[in-house]
Amino acid sequence: MSTGKLCIVANSYFLGPEDSDASSNSAYSDTLARTLAADGWTVHILWSADGEDSDFSKSRAFKSLRDDLANYGIQLFHVDQFPLRGEDLLECTLVGEMNDRSMRIRQALGQLNETHHYDLIELAEIGGDGFRTVEARVMGSAFAETAIVVKLHGSSQWHRHHNHQWPQGVNDAVADYFERYTFENADFQLAPSLEMLDFVTSVGWNVKPDAKIVANLATNSDLATNSDLATNSNSTTDRGELAKQVYNECFSRASSESPASPYAHRLAASEKPLVSIAVPYYNMADFAPDTLASLAAQDYPNLDVMVINDGSPDPRSIAVFEELTQTYPQFRFLSHENRGLGATRNRGIAEAKGEYVVLVDSDNIARPEMVSRMVQAMQRNPDLSAATCFFTAFEETSDIAEGRFGYAYRPCGGPFAVSGIRNFYGDANAIYRTEAMRRSGGFELDRDTSYEDWEYFVKLACQGHKLGVVPEYLFYYRHRADSLMRSTDMYLNQYRVLRQYFQATNLPHAERISLWSVLMGLTEGRQPKPRRKKKRAAKRVMAELHRVARKLSGGKVQRKRAA
């Protein structure tokens, strides 16, 4: 049987399986790599753990590990060897360190895959390290010819449940979402025990019918002695044989073009459905010409562009609107009395002729590949009702050519439970299925508040629609100090988002669990601690201090008694 190329992402590492914690990702990665390499596989390990050195990949400890693994034909890399590039370096405060780490791993795997062309990449769900890698594969942005294997190593929910702890806020909810998305969207799902697989099923994770149990290979693994693994031998040899069998099967399926192949959903290049683009226009004489020029430059051939004048009162803006009708005769130019942004977008939805609608604000600038990449993502994922994307922010049009950007926005599409606190979904500049938008009721019609796009995404999620993110920078966002978002009341803006939660009736099981668990965690965290417990703790501390003091003084220290 032919063997493939595998890259294993390890989030920690030790000097070999015999000295490793059985539950660690490192021990498993080390032993699995050696087992498959001995069976003829080409195996690489990407070490994603942070070292104490500023450049750990050049440290003596890393080189020692690399040389040791090389004796078995295994190559070891570190994420430090693959620094972030370009827009990925721009600040985004939406998620923080968790997302930054996931972005670094995706960047490293992308560069490695360009050279080595892996058949399989294996990730762990824990920590959400593989989130951006899996997302890129799902949305068609990268790893088109590489299948993703995700093995459970003990999710954050798993550990909290066994420690009788609730999530403590936004970051815990995001971690749960990253981990769940990573596992649910893998091409091949593995678990070390039936117990762990049953747990993620119980908290609403989608487990594939062909998910497999592969006991951890580390010799001191207590997971391998669980009763649910009784059908598998506890010997390292038999577990190794099972692992080889499972990975050879994954390789065989990934290499085939059969219906069982994860590539069976590939699209014919000729599929170019009509896409309608709706551009609301209100006093945008200074910016709309750049926006429409970017739409005329799209590399997607089948477009229906509508520019809708929402009753602009500014004479210059009216004149520019008329000029644009002459410049772009292939576009449709519509007008109505002033109704507000929500109503104008809703008219675009009603007038759309395409299978998809893309909304574009008339001060943003689309990259040439924006529509084609959005369509590809939607075609690959027929269960999605909408997909947003990354963007980079600029102030003046000249900033784009000079590469001068203020920040980036990298939405992640969830979690729903805390998406009323932060907008994890994205900007209105996104692609939507036309029929889904019409069924949803469209945008709300409020006139004096902003966040209408954020509210609409929450509205879709509350109705049970599935949303995705294309992890690519597909347009430039014009940051204006006088924009509606920055000139309206923040409380009222936030309230219009939250009001959609009051109508949530069709949430997936996992989202309901997440929502109520976060609320429980926030409530528990604000409960005052009983004084009695503090006194007991203080007594225990004092007792220990007296015990130590007596030992040091030969037993001569006596406790004082109350009078």
pLDDT of 269 over the 70 cut: no
In the predicted model, what is the mean pLDDT of residues 32-56? 83
Confidence of residue 267 (pLDDT cuts 50, 70, 90): very low
Q: Which fold has domain 275-514?
A: Spore Coat Polysaccharide Biosynthesis Protein SpsA; Chain A (3.90.550)
Residue 375: predicted pLDDT: 98
CA-based angle 77:32:251, to the nearest 5? 90
Instruction: Give the start-to-end residue ranges of the domains of the chain.
Output: 5-223+232-256, 275-514
Give 286-323 pLDDT, tens digit per residue: 999 999 999 999 999 999 999 999 999 999 999 999 99
**CA-angle at 190, arms to 186 and 192, nearest 5°:** 150
What is the predicted pLDDT for the residue at 443? Answer: 96
Percent of the chain with pLDDT over 70: 82
Residue pair 418/409 in contact by the 8 Å Cβ criterion: no
Beta carbons within 8 Å of 405's beta carbon, 6+ residues apart: 87, 90, 392, 393, 394, 399
pLDDT-based confidence at 537, cuts 50/70/90?
low
> What pLDDT does 248 receive?
93
Per-residue pLDDT, 447: 87
Reply yes or no on whether the pLDDT at 119 is more than 90: yes
> Which are the contacts of 51, defined by CB distance < 8 A and separation ≥ 6?
57, 59, 61, 62, 78, 80
> Residue 54: pLDDT above 80?
no
Q: Indicate the Cα dihedral angle 431, 372, 268, 147, nearest 10°.
A: -80
Could you tell me what percentage of the chain is helix, strand and coil, using 3-state DSSP and rounding each to the nearest 5? 45, 15, 40
Among 166-170, 196-200, 274-278, 387-391, the range scoring the smallest mean pLDDT is 166-170
Would you state the pLDDT for residue 13?
A: 44
Name the nearest CA neighbour of 436 among 499, 382, 375: 382
Record the tokens describing residue 462, joined without a space: 């509350």
Contact 480, 394 (CB under 8 A): no
Tell me, rounded to whole angstroms, the distance of Cα 480 from its chain centroid. 28
Cis upstream peptide for 415 (omega within 30°): yes
Kindly tell me if the per-residue pLDDT of 557 is higher than 60: no
Do residues 285 and 317 make contact, with C-beta atoms less than 8 angstroms apart? yes
Average pLDDT, the chain: 86
Dump pLDDT digits (tens) for 460-510. 999 999 999 999 999 999 998 777 666 788 899 889 999 998 888 777 889
CATH superfamily placement of domain 5-223+232-256: Glycogen Phosphorylase B; (3.40.50.2000)
